[in-house]
């Protein structure tokens, strides 16, 4: 069941921005304000799908529509949490734009976000990816681990050959509606956190369409993973969801599915053997406190061990990822 505040559109827009959101009441004003301030943009609409209203997001959106009367803003509210795949597919069904732009609710787009996403499709049917730059408070985790990891992640993504860029399909992407429909939307089998996006990017690639990272679309991202716990918990759920991808497409697109090796790998596997969501929560709290006083290289290793062990746990023991995002 859903409730929707969406009127019937009078005209088909050039682009539809789909925003999956859960607990986004504090994040949505920044995103909606940025979309309302777009310059040189073709006609576009914004549709937010609230995946269970746990924080008054419905009321926030009503206020934002009054604050930005020039923005075509509509939304759907799920009565209960149904997951990101359901939100993304519902957003596509509720809109009319030729180009579907996914913008997660923690993005902070620049002035030409819509214009540049639409322009990236002029070369023909394709998937388009913009990376994100994390904007995160300087926690102990961020100082010793998060900032460096983010930079390394973007550098690696930009260095990938064209046939591997689909791996970075995530929360700042766009695709022609026709291709979204050809693929049948996002796959509902991905109910845990993560990999519904990588799966979609891979299916685009496997269908013969280019999936291209565009540097001009890199967007500020007010990331949620600001502690060892939030990062490790996501790694656990992502490792679990990874197995859904492997079951559907095999391990070849992933470059294999083997356990980590060497002395470091042994440590990761040993911790993964006893890791659960409860141990991740308790252990991460201790690590975050220790990271504030330990030498940075030592703290960095402890955080990496926790995060990598959580990911390995999800890979080997996927049912240990139990909680819902």
Q: Is residue 76 part of a domain?
A: yes
Question: What is the enclosing helix (H) or strand (E) of 128?
Answer: strand 127-129
End-of-domain residue from the set 224, 241, 274: 224
Task: Give pLDDT tens digits for 65-85.
Answer: 999 999 999 999 999 999 999
- Inside any domain, residue 298: yes
Average pLDDT, the chain: 92
**Is it the case that residue 294 has pLDDT exceeding 60?**
yes
42 and 121, same domain (yes or no): yes
The predicted structure's pLDDT at residue 69 = 96
Q: Specify whether 215 is located in the same domain as 111.
A: yes
pLDDT for the residue 319: 87
Among 88-102, 186-200, 245-259, name the most confident range.
88-102
Q: What is the pLDDT of residue 224?
A: 66
pLDDT (tens digit per residue) in 124-171: 999 999 999 988 888 888 889 988 888 999 999 999 999 999 999 999
- Residues 140 and 291 sit within 8 Å (Cβ to Cβ): yes
For residue 159, what are the contacts with CB-CB under 8 A and spacing of at least 6? none
What's the pLDDT tens digit per position in 21-61?
Answer: 999 999 999 999 999 999 999 999 999 999 999 999 999 99
* Structural domain boundaries enclosing 143: 2-224
Assess contact for 183 and 200: CB atoms under 8 A: yes
Under a CB-based contact definition with an 8 Å cutoff, are residues 105 and 18 in contact? no
Position 6 confidence tier, pLDDT thresholds 50, 70, 90: very low
- What SS3 state is found at 77? strand
Structural domain contains residue 325: no
pLDDT at 195 over 50: yes
For 302, the token pair is 């402890």
pLDDT band at 1 (very low <50, low <70, confident <90, very high): very low
Judged against a pLDDT cut of 50, whether residue 186 lies above it is answered with yes
The reply to whether 13 and 90 lie within a common domain is yes
Residue 67 pLDDT: 98
Q: Is there a single domain that holds both residue 205 and residue 283?
A: no
The pLDDT value recorded for residue 243 is 87
pLDDT band of 225, cuts 50, 70, 90:
low
Q: Domain check: are 166 and 252 in the same one?
A: no
Q: How many domains does the chain have?
A: 2
Cβ atoms of 318 and 243 closer than 8 Å: yes
Same domain, 247 and 179: no
The pLDDT assigned to 258 comes to 73
pLDDT confidence of residue 9: 47
Task: Please say if the pLDDT value at position 10 is more than 60.
Answer: no
Q: For position 323, what pLDDT does the model report?
A: 65
* % of the chain at pLDDT higher than 90: 75
Residue 125 near residue 209, CB atoms below 8 Å: yes
pLDDT category of residue 260 using cuts at 50, 70 and 90: confident
Assigned domain for 166 exists: yes
């Amino acid at each position: 069941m859903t409730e929707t505040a969406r009127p019937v559109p009078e005209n088909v827009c050039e682009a539809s921005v789909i925003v999956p959101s859960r607990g986004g009441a504090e994040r949505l004003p920044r995103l909606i304000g940025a979309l309302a301030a777009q310059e040189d943009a073709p006609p576009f609409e914004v549709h937010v799908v609230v995946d269970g209203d746990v924080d008054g997001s419905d009321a926030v959106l009503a206020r934002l529509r009054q604050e930005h009367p020039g923005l075509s803003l509509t939304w759907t509210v799920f009565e209960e949490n149904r997951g990101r795949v359901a939100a993304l597919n519902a957003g596509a069904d509720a809109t009319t734009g030729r180009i579907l732009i996914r913008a997660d609710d923690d993005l902070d787009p620049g002035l030409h976000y819509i214009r540049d996403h639409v322009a990236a499709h002029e070369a023909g049917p394709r998937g388009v990816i913009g990376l994100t730059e994390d904007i995160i408070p300087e926690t102990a985790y961020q100082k010793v681990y998060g900032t460096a990891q983010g930079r390394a992640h973007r550098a690696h993504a930009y260095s990938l050959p064209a046939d591997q860029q689909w791996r970075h399909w995530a929360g700042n992407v766009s695709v022609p509606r026709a291709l979204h429909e050809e693929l049948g939307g996002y796959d509902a089998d991905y109910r845990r956190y993560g990999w519904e996006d990588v799966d979609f990017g891979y299916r685009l690639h496997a269908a013969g369409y280019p999936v291209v990272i565009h540097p001009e679309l890199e967007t500020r991202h007010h990331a949620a993973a600001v502690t060892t716990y939030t990062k490790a918990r996501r790694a656990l759920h992502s490792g679990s969801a990874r197995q859904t991808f492997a079951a559907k497409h095999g391990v070849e697109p992933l470059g294999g599915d083997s356990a980590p090796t060497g002395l470091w790998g042994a440590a990761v596997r040993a911790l993964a053997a006893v890791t659960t969501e409860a141990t991740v929560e308790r252990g991460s709290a201790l690590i975050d406190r220790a990271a504030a006083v330990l030498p940075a290289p030592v703290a960095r290793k402890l955080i990496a061990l926790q995060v990598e062990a959580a990911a390995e746990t999800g890979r080997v023991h996927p049912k240990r990822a139990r909680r819902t995002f």
